[in-house]
């Protein structure tokens, strides 16, 4: 991660893309969907857990480049457009307060569908699993996510699970940020070395 600097009292600390890659042209990229209301804890714990073992660059992507407001804790997240996150090695779909808006956004669903197909690993966290389910990628598959959203997961085609982590080949769903961090290294190993 980039070196941390102190922010002035009363300001919101920004969250910028970061890298664990050596050299200027990383071979591995972790793309992270970000949006207003995204859980910054989900973003950091899941993305960093994948990026470290992969030696990857983390790209924070959104339909429109610029800043989005993250929560838990509140941070301004500096995002690039979807084109910067095309064909990543791994994809992270964090949860957040505005998951439903993203799950109903055709531009988000189209990008996610293509990115899930091309990525070697996908990690959806908390309500991010619901955004992923809205693409159809979890149809008929066991999946976990936020503990209050089992009915919504079923409505979106997934088979709700109360497990902390559910692994469906290259797609992994996690109940929250800590579960995502716990499984990230194993997913990174699968990406690098296969099963």
pTM (two decimals)? 0.92
Is 8 domain-assigned?
no
CATH code for the domain in which residue 125 is found: 3.40.50.880
Is 6 domain-assigned?
no
Domain limits for position 183: 14-193
Is 130 domain-assigned?
yes
> Over 70: is that where the pLDDT of 2 sits?
no
**CA–CA gap between residue 133 and residue 127 (Å, rounded):** 10
Query: What's the total number of domains in the chain?
Result: 1
Is 2 domain-assigned?
no
190's tokens: 């699968």
Is 1 domain-assigned?
no
**CA–CA gap between residue 102 and residue 96 (Å, rounded):** 10
Is 5 domain-assigned?
no
Task: Report, as an integer, the average pLDDT of 100-115.
Answer: 98
Tell me the sheet residues that pair with 31.
Answer: 59, 91
Using only C-alpha atoms, the chain has a radius of gyration, in whole angstroms, of: 15
pLDDT in tens, 11-37: 678 999 999 988 655 689 999 999 999
């Amino acid at each position: 991660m980039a070196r941390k600097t102190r922010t002035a009292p009363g300001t919101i600390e920004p969250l910028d893309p970061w890298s664990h890659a050596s050299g200027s042209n990383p071979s591995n990229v972790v793309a992270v969907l970000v949006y207003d209301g995204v859980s910054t804890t989900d973003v950091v714990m899941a993305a960093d857990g994948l990026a470290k073992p992969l030696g990857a660059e983390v790209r924070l992507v959104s339909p429109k480049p610029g800043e989005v407001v993250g929560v838990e804790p509140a941070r301004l997240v500096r995002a690039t457009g979807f084109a910067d996150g095309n064909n990543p090695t791994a994809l992270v779909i964090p949860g957040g307060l505005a998951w439903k808006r993203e799950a109903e956004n055709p531009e988000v669903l189209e990008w996610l569908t293509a990115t899930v197909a091309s990525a070697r690993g996908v990690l959806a966290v908390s309500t991010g699993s619901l955004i992923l389910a809205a693409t159809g990628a979890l149809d008929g598959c066991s999946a976990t996510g936020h503990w209050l959203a089992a009915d919504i997961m079923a409505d979106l085609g997934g088979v709700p699970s109360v497990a902390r982590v559910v692994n469906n080949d290259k797609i992994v769903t996690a109940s929250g940020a800590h579960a995502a961090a716990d499984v990230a290294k194993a997913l990174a190993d699968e990406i690098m070395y296969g099963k």
